[in-house]
Amino acid sequence: MVPIRDVVVFPYMMVPFVIGRPSSVLALEKALQSDKRIYLATQMDASQDNPTPKDIFGVGTVATIVQSLKLPDGNIKVLVEGLHRARTVRVKEENGCLHAEVELEPVIKVSQAKLSLLTKRLNTLFEQFAKLNPNINYETIVQAARSTDTDRLADTIASNLPIGVEDKQSLLEINDPGERMEKICEFIEIEIEKVKMDKSIQGRVRRQMEKAQREYYLNEKIKAIQKELGRGEKDEIEELKKKVEEAQMPPDAKEKAVNEIRRLEQMPPMSAETTVSRTYLDWLIAMPWEKRTREIKDIVRAERILNEDHYGLDKVKERILEFLAVRQMARQKTSGSILCFVGPPGVGKTSLGRSIARATGRKFVRLSLGGVRDEAEIRGHRRTYIGALPGQIVQMMKKAGTKNPVFLLDEVDKMSMDFRGDPSAALMEVLDPEHNTSFVDHYLDTEFDLSQVLFICTANVLHTVPRPLQDRMEVIHISGYTEPEKLNIAKRHLVTKQLDQKGLKKERVKFTDEAIFEVIRSYTRESGVRNLERELANVCRKVVRKMVADKTQRHQSINIGRDYIHEALGPVKFRTQLAAEANEVGLATGLAWTEVGGEVLLTEVTTMEGKGDILLTGKLGEVMQESAKAALSFVRSRSGDFGLLRDFHKSIDMHVHIPEGAIPKDGPSAGITLATTIVSALTRIPVRRDVAMTGEITLRGKVLPIGGVKEKVLAAHRAGIKNVILPKENEKDLIDIPEAVLEDINIVLVETMDQVLDIALERPLKKDPGGFLEKKRPPRVEGGDRPGVH
């Protein structure tokens, strides 16, 4: 037995191959010495050099050795002829080679009629396949077909089919001639489909190539004809020169354009460099070098437009009107301004840019900088790179079509940097009024004047914007809207917009002020009005659904009140923190600033017998914890003035807690609140419920200024508090608070902690030591350590 690789030997088949393995060479020599019979079976894995019987297929062919030739390298080239199919019964290794005991497959008889039909079909299919595939040895098949032996015909065709070893082995293992011929017919049909598909694809590719060659030939012929007529590329070059003259470029840019046209004239028309040069010229020509929009300088009209589009935002509107007034009065060209609107989301920073463009009659373009990390996004790529383009600044200027648009750089605080550079550093030249007259984009490689552009940047916070970039901008802070402002915005803009979008008529669907206030207070908590608009849209959708379900309501007027809001929006999402219900010991009302507006912050302190420990809870940040310790140190240093024993802290523990412990709290502005609460808890004097306070405390009892005054006062106003204690140095911030709020609230400005305690506590402090701590200390029992009983 000889295991063979990558070939299946069929009966009636002459196969040459080389034998090189020592065991196979020995088996061949023994066969030559006897009857020249050898058993050939195919390996399952051709990569194995020493296959075991399990690695060899169980059906093979008994063959006779026709010729053998020993080669110089020791291998033997042999020609065998297949005789019979055989099934392996047993394989054993003797004397260095394999011996197989085989069982010849019996001849299965099939009806002559079926064999005749199958033979005819097989001949027809193979003839068709041979015509499509010129590599088939058709003559050998014809000779086999002339014989009456169907076995021979089937095996001869099977051995000549271009199929894999596994498929050929499956044919060898089929002993029934009829079944084998049917399987061969299936393989031939599949191969015919493959050949047809391959020829179809080749034909399609050839046709496409012929089409491309034909178009190239015709284009070259047209160019030759145009050249004979004196037209063609010269006309294109002349047209480009004409466009360059009309573009009113500065001398440097014009020189670059003229040089590029000269290079373009010398280039072959089909080269890739031609496209690069032509694209570069198109960008130079398309830039608005001297095109300006005629600016509307009517201040009255601009003020009307700004008031139509936005309610409130008086500082911003005043700055825009000042800018227009300066443009109207100054005869010389004034440089463009760089404004930066900083404020929480939803207060109208982006839409304000559109309103400014409408008020001034300028073009408006917007570039979002959120997530930009590549410096080339601002300055562009050099033309040496494939697919290079100008930066977004130049692209937007081309889109605007004028050199004096309103250019909105949105989300300037969301830029980041990585290995590709720092885009915020590239923006410094753009946003510097002294240097943006000569902005150079890497792609254009020439100076472009940005000085007449009105740049507007928007940001939610400033601390992520680099300081040098902040220095080049005029920062305008936009604080959150007050409740009356939100009410007016909803009535003027949001409700009308949502009714129009939902197909409702504003004459039939009306929102009461109480309903809008309920949405603002109970269903939204934000500085802007985005969520307010979403909730109003939700209410409008409920109205539309009811109208569609009940057609009788379509022609009725609907008045949406507070009850309808609860029915449409479900349970209340946010509760308003109100002042304490009564004057209490160790409970003071503080004021806090958040990104969504101001909040009332109740502060609690309780005392217990202990060893002088202080416990701080309520998820307080490091700064607020330090404020609590500073407040306690202030109280200890002034214990005599507050009627406390000098060593009161040694016998009590103190617990400071700020409710809503899941919310992180930090900042120094709770200092005076914490000190007031501690003094109240130790002296047992209640704190007035109608007083709220905010301010930083020092160890000597000085009250230092804080931020967010407007939001904090508005929070106190919402909570129904009538007196607000503020640091004296925050007096300048009262100008931002609406007049209506100042009329309802008494603002008390303080400089020391003594002033705070005089106002906040229900009654004046006792100045003599003793009092609460003296009475609370239990007497000791003689001869024992346990406290006695009163």
Residues designated as active site:
669, 712
Distance CA(331)–CA(328), nearest Å, equals: 8
Contact 446, 256 (CB under 8 A): yes
Distance CA(353)–CA(730), nearest Å, equals: 31
Distance CA(607)–CA(650), nearest Å, equals: 12
Of the candidates 566, 493, 559, the one whose C-alpha atom is nearest the C-alpha of residue 530 is 493
Instruction: Establish how many alpha carbons lie within 13 A of residue 638's alpha carbon, considering only the half-sphere containing its beta carbon.
Output: 23
Contact 739, 702 (CB under 8 A): no
Of the candidates 285, 234, 233, the one whose C-alpha atom is nearest the C-alpha of residue 256 is 285
Burial class (CB in 10 A: 0-12, 13-18, 19+), 700: exposed
The two tokens of residue 231 are: 């037209």
Distance CA(390)–CA(442), nearest Å, equals: 7
Burial class (CB in 10 A: 0-12, 13-18, 19+), 102: buried
Amino acid in position 735: I
Contact 644, 691 (CB under 8 A): no
Residue with tokens 């000889």: 2
The two tokens of residue 633 are: 């140190």
Distance CA(19)–CA(78), nearest Å, equals: 7
> Mind spelling out the 3-state secondary structure of 14-72?
EEEEEECCHHHHHHHHHHHHCCCEEEEEEECCCCCCCCCHHHECCEEEEEEEEEEEECC
Q: Determine the 3-state secondary structure of 505 from DSSP.
A: coil
The two tokens of residue 175 are: 């002993």
Of the candidates 546, 562, 565, 538, the one whose C-alpha atom is nearest the C-alpha of residue 508 is 546
Distance CA(44)–CA(28), nearest Å, equals: 21
Q: Give the number of other Cβ atoms within 10 Å of residue 638's Cβ.
A: 18
Contact 70, 32 (CB under 8 A): no
Is the Cα torsion angle 260, 262, 265, 271 positive or negative in sign?
Answer: negative
Is the Cα torsion angle 442, 293, 348, 540 positive or negative in sign?
Answer: negative
The two tokens of residue 19 are: 């034998």
Distance CA(655)–CA(705), nearest Å, equals: 27
Contact 531, 346 (CB under 8 A): yes
Contact 246, 274 (CB under 8 A): no
Residue with tokens 């009535």: 491
Q: Determine the 3-state secondary structure of 478 from DSSP.
A: coil
Question: Which residues, in sequence order, are bridge partners of residue 364?
Answer: 406
Contact 762, 733 (CB under 8 A): no
Start-end of H helices in 369-413: 376-379, 392-400
The two tokens of residue 347 are: 């207060």
Q: How far are the Cα atoms of 612, 776, 777, 785, 787 from residue 782, in angstroms, in the given order?
A: 25, 19, 16, 8, 10
For the chain, the farthest-separated pair of C-alpha atoms sits apart, in whole angstroms, at 136
Contact 714, 737 (CB under 8 A): yes
Of the candidates 409, 398, 401, 310, the one whose C-alpha atom is nearest the C-alpha of residue 356 is 310
Distance CA(450)–CA(448), nearest Å, equals: 6
